[in-house]
Structure 1
């Protein structure tokens, strides 16, 4: 059920490190890299559905909804253009190196012992309207390492291979899919990484895709 880390090179050649200022805590729920203000949320406990299933958000409860790598969850999400129903599937997480960290972070000393993790998430518009531009659906992704939330690195994923920038997505209609990525800093040597996504950033019941190291 669990996927595995992908350790293929992904860091773009020239990263605007001025945008990627990093603030890290002792990794018990990291601070956000560029002042996004998101709060850390604790990990949940629930069994995964059968492979190939599609999850549906339900009211009540506080357990996360566990899915396997590539499995999709369907939920309505409020965009500026209205409520859009998306299928969401975390495909993989690419883990970088400490050398990659030095290229991405303006003050590498603050990120000593941390490496970047890029979460690749595929979104499909299942109906509800057309998103004219700048979709927000990819903003609600968080990456956890060994149960602790990492620190988001704003702007680091847009040019990573296979990732799309939300600023380039226009007229996103029904049936169309896009892969939007998020980069988080996690401790080097982490054993397990999990991608969290929820239709509401304040939700206590996100979908969770877990990837284990080999």
Structure 2
């Protein structure tokens, strides 16, 4: 998964830029797999593939959740296991909506040229801690969120220093300091770079190496 980073002002402090670089590196590692052990096991077994063919072991006509399309607002048919440190939690995730931004949001800063012909989209996903350890240290949720545009192209996650102009008021940063309690729900909003003039058709949620992502169709 490719992650873009943009600066709101060309005069952003070097210290902030270095901090953002560290965050990008962490996000990139998380987005590429669930853990170093998983990657090593995957390479050794040759089964580290995405898609329903790699989810393995389906018999008797059983359908994996990633094989069927959900409607926006429909909860995941199975709980998604996320972990942090030595804790594990089972989350019900629900893709909600996409709010389109304006191309002007990408015109500030030194990276503006690479965003020519692009605009931003804000994808919303709700997560509920249904079971597992509680209270639980917050796991990474937003790095599992994805978007698809017309033609099947993936939106590119965007990390910013500060907030983009035109960001919706309810598109808040994830709170990774506050512990989760069982039954608690939170809404996550992730920013993506997408081509101008193309409709965002789906929100996705990664389920690791071995299962196809969950996929929600957005209203046409």
- Give the structure with the higher percent helix: 2
SS at match of 2:82: strand
Pair 1:185–1:203, CA change in 2 (3 A): farther
Post-superposition CA distance 1:60-96 (Å, at most 9, x none): 5785431111111032323114221111011100111
Distance in 2 of aligned mates of 1:189 and 1:15: 24
SS at match of 2:88: strand
Q: CA deviation at 1:112?
A: 0.5
Q: Once superposed, what is the RMSD of the aligned Cα atoms?
A: 3.6
| Greater fraction strand | 1
Shift in alpha-carbon separation, 1:83–1:191, aligned structure 2, 3 A? same
Partner of 2:127 in structure 1?
Answer: 123
Of the candidates 174, 185, 197, which is equivalent to residue 177 of structure 1? 185
1:92 aligned to 94, 97, 100, which one?
A: 97
Report the Cα distance in structure 2 between the residues aligned to 1:162 and 1:198, rounded to whole angstroms.
23
Residue 207 (1) aligns with residue 211 (2): no
* 1:65 maps to 2:68: yes
- Distance, in Å, in 1 between the alignment partners of 2:134 and 2:211 is 28
Gaps of 5+ in 2: 1-6, 18-23, 33-49
Q: What is the correspondence of 1:24-173 to structure 2 with a 5 Å cutoff? A: 34=24, 36=28, 38=31, 60=58, 64-73=67-76, 74-80=78-84, 81-103=86-108, 106-146=110-150, 147-155=152-160, 160-173=168-181
Farther off after superposition, 203-212 or 155-164? 155-164
Alignment CA distance shift 1:192-1:123 (3 Å): same
How many aligned positions are there? 173
**Post-superposition CA distance 1:87-144 (Å, at most 9, x none):** 10111001111111224x6421101110111110000010101254442133211111
1: CA distance, partners of 2:115 / 2:183: 40
In structure 2, the CA distance between the partners of 1:160 and 1:192, relative to structure 1 (3 Å rule), is: closer
- Matched residues in 2 for 1:95 and 1:137: separation? 21
**Structure showing greater Rg:** 2
* 1:42-64 deviation line (CA, Å, top 9, x unaligned): x979xxxxxxxxxxx99657854
Q: Which consecutive residues of structure 1, in runs of 5 or more, have no partner in the other structure?
A: 1-13, 21-33, 46-56
- Measure, in 2, the Cα distance between the counterparts of 1:178 and 1:15: 27
